Every structure is written in C-alpha cells, then in structure tokens.
Structure 1
Amino acid sequence: MLQGLGMSGTAESVYLQMLRDRDAGPDRIAEALGLDEARVRDALDELSRLMLVEESWAGDDGLRPVSPEVGLAALLAREQAEIARRNQEIEEGRVALARLVSELQNVRKGPDVELLETAEEARDRLATLIGRCTHELCTFVPTRATSSRALESSRTLSRTLLERGVRMRTVYLESIRNDQATWDHATWLRNNGAEVRLAATVPVRLQIIDQDHAMVPLNDTESGSGAVVMTSPGIVAALMALFTQAWRTATPLGADRRRDEDGLSVQEHELLRLWAKGATDEAAGRRLGVSLRTVRRLSSALMERLDASSRFQAGARALDCGWLQPADLS
C-alpha cells in the first residue's frame, strides 16, 4: 500500500503495527509480526530515514510513530519534489541533447571530420586506417555477438597489427561469455598478444587509431551504420579519456568473475545503476548486451534482495543502502 512512496513491505508492516500498539518495542513488534528482531530494527532505521518515527516523548530511548496525517503527507511531498526534480533534469537533458545535435551537425561540416554515409564506406576506411596504424589501436565493442564474416576480417587485420608490434586494447561486453564465437575470438586476441578486458556496458562503438584518428557510428545502431572519423586533437583526446576510464575499471579476460563487497556482479551493479537512471528492462538489456529474459532473471533476484516492488524503487534502495553511489548516476 505504501511501497509506491519508497517504503519496503517490512517497514510498512512495522509502521502499521506501531500505530496499532504505540508502546511496543522492537521485541514485541517482532513477535506480533513473526519477524526476526534484526529485521524489525532495520525497518525502524528505514522509517527513521523516512521521518515516520521519532524519539519517544517519555525519554526512554524508544521510538514512537509519527501520525500518518503528518508523516505520510511530508513523505508524499518529498516524493513529489523528487519527481519534479527528476522531470527538471529530464527537460534539461532534452535541451542539452538538442544543443549537442545542433553542434554535431556543424562539426560534421568541419575540416576535422570525415562523414562516411554507409557501412561499406566505414569498413573500407577503418581497414585503411588500421593498415596505417603504427603504435596503438583502442577499441570498444558494445555488442555481445559479432558475425562470422566480421570476426574473420577482424582476425586478419589484428594478426597483421600484432605482427608489427602494435599495441591492441579492446573492451568487450561481459555478455560475450554467452556467444561462443565472439568469446573464442577475444581469447584468440589475448593469446596472440592483444590486451582484452570485459565490462558490463560499453558506451559506444569506437576505434582510436594511434591517438590521432577516432571513428564512431553515424547513428546508434549495432550494424548497418555509417561512421564519422574525427581528427580534431581535442575530440580525439576526449574519446581517449573515455576509453581510458572504461579500461581501468574493466576486468581482464580470463580473470575470475568479480563480485564487489556487497556480493554484486558487474552486470548486477550496472543494472541497478541503469534502473536508478530510469532505464526500462529493454533499454538495460541493450546496454548490457543480454536478452530480456536475462534482464528479468537478474531483476527478480535483485528486487528480492532489496525487498523492492519496482525497478525505480530498487534503484533508490540501492542508493540508500550504499550499493550505488551518487557518482554512479552521473
């Protein structure tokens, strides 16, 4: 009933029991509800954060419930203020996106940008750039599966680069574990001298050649897209910084699958972050490179652990209990 206001089911039960029995302590509440006393105390901490309980007037270090007329009205007002804040952020994001699109249209016309309209043009230009690479090739691969034709072509180019002593660094999605052909190719790269790491999500398909050329898709599709090649030092440096940040936090291929101190895998942590930012299951699946069925399986386990009834509530709970930090939402 009250979970739509960000309250867990356990906290709601404890709050209602306190309203029924205002003199009850944690032990009596636990007995009445058939709960462990530790869960009751956790619920009391949650109610305290929601300002639905306060110190007892009797001065006995106990807690008393704030009346629903006061406490729930204030909670509702805070939720409405939060919704208004998020709506404002969304609107600001729309304005920023419109400005960025406008600027990109101007950038495409500049001397430091080469526009490749078709996928064929993009593949040919990338092959030419890689053929001239002498120092380093950095790559993001934001898809789980790659076609056999693309893998064969990539392996031919990669073998040539590695034989020339070019440093190759590639960040794949963690979900390539579910596609044997892509996994085998990544393993081949590593075994032949390339550096390969895995991340829960990868921001964009990207190739940076010798830190002086960068190629990104013309639009946000997995295949069949043209590309933009940029040589502006400022833009290439910014994309290189993006790559470096992702590289530092990614897991080397072959390392044990990491879980953080809260027991979360990298995919689970990223799914929580996407929820907190308002992503749908479909959008989260695309970012993670996994099926909707896999997202729902992960979702069910996470929501059970967080005692949450909605994706947004789970994201909020993850922030509340420290599984996510404010910086994760930037």
Structure 2
Amino acid sequence: MNYSGSEFAELDDISAAAYGHAVELGRFIREDIALRLALSPAEVTHAEKVLTLLRLLQPMPGDPDVLVPVGPDVATADLVSSAEAQIRDLQQAVTDVRSRLMSLTPVYFEGRRLRNRLEAFDVITDQGTVQSMLDHLSAHCRQEVASVAPGGARPGPQLQAARKSSLSMRERGVAVRTIYQHTARSDLATRAYVRDVTEAGVEVRTADQVIDRILIYDRDTVFLPTHAEQDDESQSTGGAIVVREPTLVAFVCNVFEHLWDGATPFVPDTSRAPSVADDLKQSILRLMAKGYKDEMVARRLGMSVRTCRRHISEITEELEATSRFQAGYNVAMSRMLEQRAGREADSG
C-alpha cells in the first residue's frame, strides 16, 4: 500500500479547532461547528475531510453517518499501523535478500580460487566500492593485516579511520603490521597515532623507500593500487587490484616480509634514530648519483620537494660541492656509498 500526501494530511489550525469542538460535543456536528467557529460550509467540509483522513473522526458503530472524535493515540495507531507493517515487511525482505546473497560469498571466493589460470585478480575502479571492500575485510579478518603506506605525513581523517580500525582489530586478536616511510616520523599527528596503536600491540616500522601501497588480509587477499596510464607512474587512480590467486598472494607477502626485515621500528617516544637519518641521506645520495631530479627524489622518499632540497643542500655542503650535479658526480666517482656500506659491515 502506498501512502500519498493527502492520506497523511496536514493538520491545519481550522481543522484542529474543529476537532476540539467535536471533542466537546462528543461528535462532529457540521452546523454547530460552523456556527461556533464562524466557518463557511466549504471550510467545515475541508476540516471534516482532514480529520477523517487523519483518523481523528471515525464513524459511530451502528450509525456510520455520525462521525465521533477519537483520541490522538487511537488515530495514530489506526493511521500508521499498516505503514509500519509495510516497513517491517520491507526491512525483513531486505535482510532476507542480503542473507541469501551473502551466503554465496564462500562459493564465490572458492570459485575465484579455483579459476586462477586466466583471471587471478579483480580490477575495481570505483573508490567507494574499494573502500567498502576494505571496511568489510577489516571487520572480518581473522589473523593478520599487513600494509605498506608510501609517503610522509598521513592526513588527519585517514589517521582517525586507521586508529579506529587498528584498535578494533587488535581487540579481536588480529595482528597488525604497517610500514611507513622514514619521513612519516617527523609528523606529530602520525607520531601520536603510532603511539596509540603500538600501545595496543600494533607493530609499525619505517623504511627509506617502499615499492607501492600494499594491503594484505589474512595472507589470502591482497589490495594493490591502480595507476593512470601516463609517465607519472606514481599517480594512483583511487582504484585497486584485488589479488586472491595463491601464488601471487604468496609473492606479495614475501615482498612485504623483505621490506619488513629491512625496516626500522617506529618508537614515537624516543628521539629519531640516527640510522633513520643515515638511511635517508644514503637514499638521497643514491638517487642523486643516478641523476634524478629533486622532484623525483622527493617522490621516491615520500617527502616534500622543499624538504628534499634542504637535505640536498646539506649534502652538497658536506661534500664541498658547488651544485647538486657536482655532488652526484662526486658520489659516483668516490664510491662513497660502497665505502659507507663496507664500514657498516665491518662495524657489525
């Protein structure tokens, strides 16, 4: 049953006054109400129609030509009961449909697992769909979530969502490991987030460079970002590639473990580890030696171009070079990186 605006009529002042007099009289007497309220026949007819639609006037049992007023609670129950029943039926129908369709989830994933020769992954281009899938997997993962997040400071809303998700997973006993880039250590909001989640058992490490964004759920589902078809391969489109094929998933898990083993624990309550600063400096030296521009060096290391140029300026000063190009040349010629690596190996 559909309810139009006329059936859920608006109670105007004239109709309300007519209802009050009908309650006093015990019935709706058109002539008397017209006289008492100085209403025209059309106004009385309108009030009667409104009060009848709102079930405030109902036929007297045994004499349907006589309309008597009923209490607002009775009228409300009479008016909306069928609508409420319809809403309950629709809600139950939605629940039934969702349950029936979601019951096919194991069938879908099992079929996807078996059909891995040609279609080892799904490409999801809609950001809303990607986020919905991530929320679902975060809420239902059972063992571990591992992630790699390139870039420096994390946006505030992203940190809030990550904090809520990470703490919820830890309450369920799910292991959570995250790798950021070293540049995230200098952001106060990120440090506060890391402090909160590590107290709950989340493990966070940082590395100078990472490959790309990675999300791994229970070592059987991997999310990788999609990228625009252009020269700037780091420009993500907001979509994701969802990988479930066991061999590919195992490969990505091995890549994560390799990055994890080489990363430095992020302990926000301690001063910045000297090794982290050294890692950044060595990474800048490597990229300078390869001839990368400032913008590319900054992008690879997850820092702003301004910060990158400040580091480069300090390095060129240390190398007594007059330009970044000379500094890169000096590094390449002197094999400074190899010498430093050798010294570190000897000291180890």
2:143 to 123, 132, 135: 135
User: Is the partner of 1:226 in helix, strand or coil?
Assistant: strand
Q: What amino acid does structure 2 have at the position aligned with 1:296?
A: R
Aligned-pair RMSD on alpha carbons? 2.7
Q: Which residue of 2 aligns with 1:118?
A: 126
The counterpart of 1:267, out of the listed 280, 290, 293, is 280
Shift of the alpha carbon at 1:213?
1.1
User: Which residue is equivalent to 1:153?
Assistant: 161
CA contact (8 A) 1:120 1:226 kept: no
Distance 2:218 2:329 in 1: 42
Retained in 2: the 8 A contact 1:173–1:288?
yes
Q: How far is the alpha carbon of 1:250 from its aligned partner?
A: 1.4
Q: Which residue of 1 aligns with 2:300?
A: 287
Could you tell me how far apart the structure 1 residues matched to 2:260 and 2:133 are?
Answer: 25
The one of the two structures with greater contact order (alpha-carbon pairs below 8 A, sep at least 6) is 1
Partner amino acid for 2:317?
Answer: E
Equivalent pairs counted in the alignment come to 218
In the TM superposition, residue 321 of structure 1 has moved relative to its aligned partner by 4.2
CA-to-partner distance for each residue in 1:225-267, whole Å, 9 max, x for gaps?
111011122222222222112211211112553445xx96221
Q: Distance in 1 between matches of 2:294 and 2:234?
A: 18
In 2, Cα distance between equivalents of 1:312 and 1:246: 30
Q: Structure 1 residues 237, 275: closer, same or farther in 2, change over 3 A?
A: farther
Give unpaired runs (5+ residues) of structure 2: 1-115, 228-232, 342-348
Partner of 1:324: 337
Contact 1:118 1:224 survives alignment (8 Å): no
Displacement of 1:271 in angstroms is 0.9
Q: How far does residue 152 in structure 1 lie from its aligned partner after superposition?
A: 2.1
Shift of 1:110: 3.8
Whole-angstrom CA distance in 2 between matches of 1:229 and 1:257: 36
Paired with 1:319 and 1:134, the residues of 2 have a C-alpha distance of 49
- What's the CA shift for 1:282? 0.5
Q: What is the letter of the counterpart of residue 305 of structure 1?
A: E
**For 1:10-67, what per-residue CA distance to the aligned partner results, in whole angstroms no more than 9, with x for missing partners?**
xxxxxxxxxxxxxxxxxxxxxxxxxxxxxxxxxxxxxxxxxxxxxxxxxxxxxxxxxx
Aligned: 1:208 with 2:216: yes
Q: Which of these residues, 168, 177, 194, is aligned with residue 176 of structure 2?
A: 168
More off after superposition, 313-322 vs 282-291? 313-322
Q: CA separation in 1, counterparts of 2:289 and 2:134? A: 36
TM-score, normalised with respect to structure 1: 0.59
Separation of aligned partners in 2, 1:134 and 1:319:
49
TM-score (norm 2): 0.57
Judged with a 3 Å threshold, the aligned counterparts in structure 2 of structure 1 residues 308 and 109 are, in CA distance, closer, same or farther, namely farther
**Aligned counterpart for 2:310 among listed residues 272, 280, 297:** 297
> Following TM superposition, by how much is the alpha carbon of 1:314 offset from its aligned partner in structure 2, in angstroms?
3.1
Secondary structure at the aligned position of 2:238 is classed as coil
Q: Which shows bigger deviation, 200-209 or 171-180?
A: 171-180
Q: 1:162 to 1:308 in 2, by over 3 A?
A: same
Distance 1:277 1:236, change over 3 A: farther
Alignment deviations for residues 146-176 of structure 1 (CA, whole Å, 9 cap, x no partner):
3322222222221221011111110112112
Q: What is the rounded CA distance, in whole Å, between the counterparts of 2:178 and 2:291 in structure 1?
A: 29
What letter matches 2:319 in structure 1? L
In the TM superposition, what is the alpha-carbon distance from 1:215 to its structure 2 partner?
0.7
* Distance in 2 (alpha carbons) for counterparts of 1:243 and 1:221: 19
Give yes or no for contact 2:185–2:266 (8 Å, CA) kept in 1: no
Match of 1:306 among 302, 307, 319: 319
Q: Does the 8 Å contact 2:204/2:265 carry over to 1?
A: yes
In structure 2, which of residues 238, 243, 246 is the aligned counterpart of residue 233 of structure 1? Answer: 246
SS in 1 for 2:242: strand
1:189 corresponds in structure 2 to 197
Match of 2:272 among 249, 257, 269: 257
Which runs of 5 or more structure 1 residues have no equivalent in the other structure?
A: 1-107
C-alpha change, 1:113 and 1:302, in structure 2 (3 Å) is same
Which whole-Å CA distance do the structure 1 matches of 2:169 and 2:310 have between them?
A: 40
The alignment partner of 1:138 has SS state of strand
Letter of the 1:207 partner, please give it: L
* Alpha-carbon offset, residue 312 of structure 1: 5.0
